[in-house]
């Protein structure tokens, strides 16, 4: 994808990344290579990084599968050791979970 805009550096990088192709007699250069093919499997997200806020201030991020419900995300967040250490043994007054956005813990 870089070759049309910066052909010299693209050719150098391609030679370093593919020395076996460069050494062959049929090598025609990086511009003769096929363009990358679209593969929809790489667009599918299976997890999400939830920012975890305490009283409205973001303190950490935790990654959970997208398929989890609000209740499962809340339970997983409250079970996390780092969250437990930030709570300092106090019970949260309220836990607000916005799916695929944020988790806010009011202490």
In the chain, helix, strand, coil percent, each to 5?
A: 35, 25, 35
* Residue 45 vs residues 28, 31, 49, 77, 104: alpha-carbon distances, Å: 37, 32, 11, 20, 23
- Is this model's pTM higher than 0.75 or not? no
Instruction: Decide yes or no: CATH 3.10.20.590 for domain 47-106.
Output: yes
Residue 28 pLDDT level (bands cut at 50, 70, 90) = confident
Q: Which pLDDT does position 29 carry in this prediction?
A: 82
Decide: residue 101, CB within 10 A, 0-12 exposed, 13-18 middle, 19+ buried: exposed
Q: Which pLDDT does position 21 carry in this prediction?
A: 78
* CATH 3.10.20.590, the chain: domain bounds: 47-106
pLDDT tens digit sequence for 47-74: 999 999 999 999 999 999 999 999 999 9
Residue 26 pLDDT level (bands cut at 50, 70, 90) = confident
């Amino acid at each position: 994808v870089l070759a049309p805009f910066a052909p010299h550096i693209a050719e150098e990088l391609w030679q370093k990344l593919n020395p076996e192709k460069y050494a062959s007699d049929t090598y025609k250069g990086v511009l003769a290579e096929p363009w990358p093919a679209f593969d929809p499997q790489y667009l599918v997200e299976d997890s999400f990084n939830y920012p975890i806020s305490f009283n409205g201030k973001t303190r950490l991020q935790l990654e959970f599968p997208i398929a989890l419900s609000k209740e499962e995300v809340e339970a997983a967040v409250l079970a996390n050791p780092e969250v437990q250490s930030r709570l300092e043994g106090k019970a949260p007054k309220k836990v607000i979970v916005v799916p695929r956005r944020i988790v806010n813990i009011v202490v």
